[in-house]
Amino acid sequence: MTMLDPRVEESLRQGFKKYLNPFMRTMWRLGLGQWFNVWPDVSGRVMVITHVGRKSGAARRTPVNYAIVDGDIYCVAAFGSISDWYRNIRVDPNVEVWLPDGWWAGTAEDVSDDPRRLFLMRQVMIGSGFAARVAGINPYAIGDAELDATTAKYRLVRIRRGEARTGPGGPGDLAWVWPLATLILLPLVIFRRRRRSL
């Protein structure tokens, strides 16, 4: 059975929280989130969940890997019930999801006891790309018993999409940076090339 040392697991959790998650959120806000879903076997299928902080009441955004099965979105809290986003959705299940095909309101629910748990968990692990392998899971090769044991503390979450969302505050809300950067940098590049040719 593949189990991570608790210190390694905590280091991974902190690494995702401090470095990878902010990077992923920024890429989605810059309008580049869809690019993370181009090669799902490597990068995984990535979405962003917007949830409400259980203490602060402020909107929080967490990138997670996911799978869509029968029209519903499934994801896991791989660090178990201590995951902040998981604890937040347990208090307020109303979420928004940023997916490659759009921005949606939704309702999140823990379905860890679903009779199809192993099948659904495997689909999410397949959708996790490198993240599953970092956790020691090869979703194509691992047997059901080992997958069940390895993911025993994972919380399986189903999100049912509601209405589509539009307007400010969604994915791509910082996409204006690209034209501005081009407007500023292009003249500098042209000026620099002209100076070199003189």
SS (H, E, C) the chain: CCCCCHHHHHHHHHHHHHHHHHHHHHHHHCCCHHHHHCCHHHHCCEEEEEEECCCCCCEEEEEEECEEECCEEEEEECCHHHCHHHHHHHHCCEEEEEECCEEEEEEEEECCCCCCHHHHHHHHHHCCCHHHHHCCCCCCCCCHHHHHHHCCCCEEEEEEEEEECCCCCCCCCCCCHHHHHHHHHHHHHHHHHHHHHC
State the pLDDT at residue 125: 95
Q: Give dist(CA 35, CA 105) in Å, integer.
A: 22
pTM comes to 0.81
State the pLDDT at residue 108: 98
State the pLDDT at residue 24: 80
State the pLDDT at residue 1: 39
* Residues of the chain below pLDDT 70: 1-6, 8-17, 19, 197-198
Backbone angles phi, psi at 68, to 5 degrees: -105, 125
Backbone angles phi, psi at 38, to 5 degrees: -75, -35
Q: Are 37 and 43 in contact (CB under 8 A)?
A: yes
State the pLDDT at residue 28: 82
Task: List domains and CATH numbers for the chain.
Answer: 6-197 (2.30.110.10)
Q: Give dist(CA 159, CA 147) in Å, integer.
A: 22
